[in-house]
Amino acid sequence: MSLLVSLIPESGPSRTASATKASVHHPKSGRELVSKLIGARVYTTDSARDTEGHGSHTASTAAGDNVVSASFYGFAEGTARGGVPSARIATYKACNGIWCTSDILAAFDDTIADGVDLITVPLGSVFMSEFYSDPVATGAFHAAEKGVLVVQSAGNSGLAGFQSVASVAPWILSVAASTTDRHFVAAVDYS
């Protein structure tokens, strides 16, 4: 399953047709989460829920709130946050485990019509394809024509090298993960 996640700045009026003003309390912190997720559209299934967590992970990377004292089992403690913590999210669930060209294109059309400022696309192919046959490249081109930046994962083939980059359209900002030079060392007690 994949989601198109679109960010809408917190300042200014909501511009999505499906915006809501729901308020939810976080179960652990008790903080009120006001209008972070302001809209959802579904194309393939009957629910916008992210049952695999991939779209939610991408959304938190893009617009996650500040999390103080975040760490990896006590190591590297600090404040974690998404790229734009003040952004609000509208999600467009375009696929459900299969490549669904018409739904992807419809989701792009709706995000553009809803007036979003940025589209993050946590889906892509394992192999590079021609722009005219890639629905993400086509939808992103339409978004770029309207001044909307599209960010997509560069590929999902791990350590296969440069040939593993599948998102190569020049109007898409392709992003990828990397390794870190940090080593997490811990004592092990065998008693």
- 165-175 confidence digits (pLDDT tens): 778 899 998 88
- 91-118 confidence digits (pLDDT tens): 888 876 666 888 889 999 999 999 888 8
Asked if 44 contacts 96 with a C-beta cutoff of 8 angstroms, the reply is yes
Helix (H) or strand (E) holding 150: strand 149-153
Q: Which residues contact 146 (CB under 8 A, 6 or more apart)?
A: 112
Could you give the CA distance from residue 191 to residue 186 in angstroms, rounded to a whole number? 15
Per-residue model confidence (pLDDT) at position 90 = 86
- 37-75 confidence digits (pLDDT tens): 788 888 877 777 777 777 777 788 888 888 899 888 888
* Nearest of 91, 73, 93, 70 to residue 81 by alpha carbon: 70
Amino acid found at 151: V
Amino acid found at 87: A
Q: Is the pTM of this model over 0.85?
A: no
3-class secondary structure per residue, 27-46: CCCCCEEECCEEEEEECCCC
Q: Which domains does the chain have, with CATH numbers?
A: 3-15+30-175 (3.40.50.200)
